[in-house]
Chains A and B, each alone.
Chain A
């Protein structure tokens, strides 16, 4: 009985060089063609969508093509009385979009456009007794939100406003026997959660708590024969997981453990030569989310046409240098 290998086959005619100009055109045009239906469907995550688009434009040196004033005004109108920021106007505030908004404002060097003290109060107010963070006032707990909280505060230089020790304690309770992390204590290891937790431990200066060899092992096992990385065993490879796994490996100093050339081949094969943009897998529909993580992944792999990206915050290194933030990395 044969086993169907869960992987993709990269065709010989798949793209093998980087089409940066096409990607910039794709992102620049994305915001302007607001098909009502598609636009409506994704409005609940609009702020993160803008962060993905702007960050990839900045990494490609094309940020000036985007409408800075319009975007900053939009963010201002998404800040709520409680200090939290929502995905779009009329939506409810949430830590996910609060982080995205702060990241965008850092790209534009305009953090003062919003009420920073209120953002800090909002984040602080979401910390629970056990150190975990709720995503919003309704109380859902997830290690993703721990990352959002410390990343937001780190970008604002206000990490001292929360109980960092407790926050670390909670994240460590989500560590598993394989060295990975899940969303809550007892939950399965997942590449996205691992990225959040290693990023969290980097920002809080606690990377020594990670079993880097064990976790590195698990992360390397995500690489499939096609070169692409998946997020868990027996899942298909995906450009966004390629980023999360690669960034985690970079954070824990084990990026040289995977086959970089094969991963690069996989990521390049996920481009659409005609429309620009990256898809999750070769031949699928492109979107801004996978376009950012494709370009950012290539940057981590050392592509010199792209600005260096920071593996913890997924932002251009020059932006973090400007605000004086240098998250720890293991060597």
Chain B
């Protein structure tokens, strides 16, 4: 009995440490899930005189993708977004985050533009309202304007097919 107690304590510690090691500390749960998407109105990337606002997307399920031409990981996820846009399943609105307009437009010309429209957030103020701290980030926003999902970092095909698209489909039915 007295000999098994240290063993049990050790086993419990191993489980705790094991779980701790398997967690990714850079994935911080967003407090915005199931909350209304923060309101914004931004000049459009391609046309500074026009604006894009979250209220323009009311009644639709949409993806809100934070990107920048200086962001290396964005380049990694970009082909996936271009492909998704081609399939016409869900509109993708871009948030061009702390980027130079000319550089951003050139980036889209080179790599393809999957966005219905991109807002130009040069100061990163809208990004702050959305709790952006690492680009790229992607939000799934439902018809009522509630955030239902947040992806931090590039979307992988796995995440897209197993998490995001089934969720979009479910939200579109409601």
Same complex for A and B? Answer no
Residues of B that sit less than 8 Å from A by CB = none
